[in-house]
Amino acid sequence: MPAVELIPFGADAQRALEREWLATIRDRAAADGVRSVVRSSWERSLGAAVSPDLPAAPVVLDEGLLIGTVEATDWLDLARAAVAEHDRSFSGEGHILTLFDHEARMLTAEGDPAALEGLAEINFRPGALWSEQAVGTNGPGTALATGGAAHIVGAEHFCARWQRWHCAAVPVRELASGQILGVLDISGFRERAHPHTLNLALALALAIEQSVAAREIGRRYLAVTRMTHLSHRYPADAAIAVDRHGRILLASPSAPAELDPERGHPALRALIPDLVGRTRDSLPREVEVALTADDTRRGVWHPVFDGRTVVGGCLVLENRETGTSPRTTKATARFGALRHTFAEIVGESPALVAARDTALAAAATDLPVLLSGEPGTGKEAFAQAIHQASDRRDRPFVAVNCAALPREQAERELLGSASQVGRFEAADEGTLFLDEIGELPPAAQAALLRVLEDQEITRIGDTQSRPVNLRVIGATSRDLLTMLANGQLRSELYYRLNVMTIELPALRERGPDLPMLARRFFQATARDHGRPEVGVAGDVFAAFQAYAWPGNLRELRNVVRRLMAVAGTRITLADLPQAIRAAYLRIAPAPRLGRGAPTAPPTGVGRASHIDEEDARLTEVVNRSRTMAEAAAELGITRSTLYRRMERFGLKPKRVVDRG
């Protein structure tokens, strides 16, 4: 049994130790009269060419880098909570408690002000590097170098300026993997060193490790739950839950034998940490996994988050027999192709340009979007365009008309039930578009709020929470502030959604855009029906601009479709609906009659009060034709269209005369 090596706490022991240290520095070889852990550390310090006269440790993290590193070290909050429970144990005079990351960079320090001030003189403060390679033997650096607890007292430090102090340091590990996360250290004036200091550090480190282990169990549960959810969606494909280190937690029955949780797989251990290292805005992405030398499979990585931290996830690999990709199956077969992109949202009116620019900015984020505008202004087109321009473009786009949901069934439709997938889950990893979101009943609003805040749902009649990762785009034609005042809309939901608000202009506010939009609708309608494009008289577009279009784009599109259905080869003012024609005639100047144009109603035809070129052309053709069918043929329209035009102009069809 090896002899117990005593830590040199007393003054005599420290004087003897100082002689050994001086010999070590003089001879450039570690002396024998010190503890073995210290002797090995002195040898490493000599090998790293650390200067024993080093005045202070190097500072490697400035304020900005330190803040970023602290935020990225996700076990620190657990460490602080565990330490807070033992606050009285280390708050004694002359000591501070510090936490380091796995690279020996100090992240936090708190404790006695006198000790903090004195230690700051040697840069024993946040942002400084205390590895053995940088500053020689010291508590945190030696604990990391050896992987075990280290209590370095006074002259055991390699550098002279550190010898006023003692450091009791213990590595903090992730218990499941054994990986060192960082170091907890209690440091103070050498005269106050005591064996209990290391015992306290050990107890605190153990408390932190237990907190980390408890959280790890919860994170594994999240990954396994996601895998279960996805394996139901892709029953023929291999679904594998993994932690952030690439260890397999669970594999579906269809997973290949190479993906055995007991043995793990080197490809996953190499691939997953890189995927986990991505930001919170990471989305499911295609990957390739080499299971064997002859079997490389495509798959989709579904990250799992705990707050903003990627803690693992699920891999869904393609079915080797069918060759189908989960991504393809989900994005196209289940949800179909989307029609609208930003390339199709055309127009140069200032209001439209502003809305389009904001929507493009929104597409680059995962923030909730609220589209507002009158009915028919193109809210779903904007929602689809945002989805198509985002990183979620290959994932589901699920549209829900909230006004059409039965109030008593709305919550079930969104959350689903034990036997049915709801709209939230259907939109998992994609975009959920909620049209007329203000019409959701209170229970459905509460469910939506939970999804936005917690990214999880619980189906109706179920007790198990299911994680979902979706982007919500809401739309409304109502005044939400009025609904808030009336209690029809939850204020928490409104402020959670009202992050990026986009006001869509009414068609009447897009004056210069209207003729271009109408022409595009005429062209699209002709293309959809496989017919040639028709001619459109110039005053038709002028009439369009004179009209208020209460139904906005939807009304314009429907008017164009109707005109294309009933008109011949040319559309004129006479073909327009009465409301549009009347709006134009109220503001149009009195028409000028060309040379030779009739100045009085020709025989057999009644006259309206307004005469224009189309009117004159119509009366002229009718009066010289033998029959209405002959007149319609010459005008290139059907006889029924001719009758409608004459009726709109207030004309009466002439009696048909058979000239033999």
Residue at token pair 């003054």: 11
pLDDT digits (tens, 9 = 90+) for 151-187: 999 999 999 999 999 999 999 999 878 889 999 999 9
> CA 469, 388, 277 angle in degrees (round to 5)?
45
Evaluate if residue 615 carries a pLDDT over 70.
no
Single-letter amino acid, residue 261: P
Paired sense of beta strands 309-317 and 369-372, if any: unpaired
Between the alpha carbon of residue 348 and those of residues 195, 345, 510, 520, the distances in Å are: 77, 10, 8, 15
DSSP characters over 76-136: HHHHHHHHHTTHHHH-STTEEEEEEETTSBEEEEEE-HHHHHHHHTTT-STTBB--HHHH-
Q: What is the pLDDT of residue 644?
A: 66
Write out the two tokens for 333: 């077969």
569 phi/psi in degrees, rounded to 5? -90, -5
Write out the two tokens for 3: 């002899």
Q: What is the pLDDT of residue 593?
A: 33
Cβ neighbors of 444 (< 8 A, separation 6 or more) are 402, 405, 410, 411, 414
Evaluate if residue 285 carries a pLDDT over 80.
no
pLDDT digits (tens, 9 = 90+) for 122-145: 999 999 999 999 999 999 999 999
pLDDT digits (tens, 9 = 90+) for 325-382: 444 333 332 333 456 888 888 888 888 989 998 999 898 888 999 999 999 999 999 9
Cβ neighbors of 472 (< 8 A, separation 6 or more) are 368, 369, 431, 432, 434, 448, 451, 452, 497
What is the C-alpha separation between 134 and 63, in angstroms, rounded?
A: 20
Evaluate if residue 600 carries a pLDDT over 70.
no
pLDDT digits (tens, 9 = 90+) for 497-513: 888 899 999 999 988 88
Please give the mean pLDDT across all residues of the chain: 82
pLDDT digits (tens, 9 = 90+) for 15-31: 999 999 999 999 999 99
Cβ neighbors of 1 (< 8 A, separation 6 or more) are none
Q: What is the pLDDT of residue 610?
A: 40
Work out the burial of residue 277: count CB atoms within 10 Å of its CB; fewer than 13 is exposed, 13-18 middle, 19 or more buried.
exposed
What is the C-alpha separation between 122 and 99, in angstroms, rounded?
A: 17
> Between residues 73 and 293, which one has the greater pLDDT?
73
Q: What percent of the chain has pLDDT over 90?
A: 32
pTM for the model stands at 0.50
What is the C-alpha radius of gyration for the chain, rounded to an integer number of angstroms? 39
Long-range contacts of 60-68 (CB under 8 A, 24+ apart): 60/105, 60/127, 60/128, 60/129, 61/105, 61/126, 61/127, 61/128, 62/127, 63/127, 65/127, 66/107, 66/126, 66/127
Q: 2-11, 344-353, 422-431 — which is least confidently predicted?
A: 2-11
> CA 293, 297, 300 angle in degrees (round to 5)?
145
Residue 146 has a CB neighbour count (10 Å cut-off) of 15
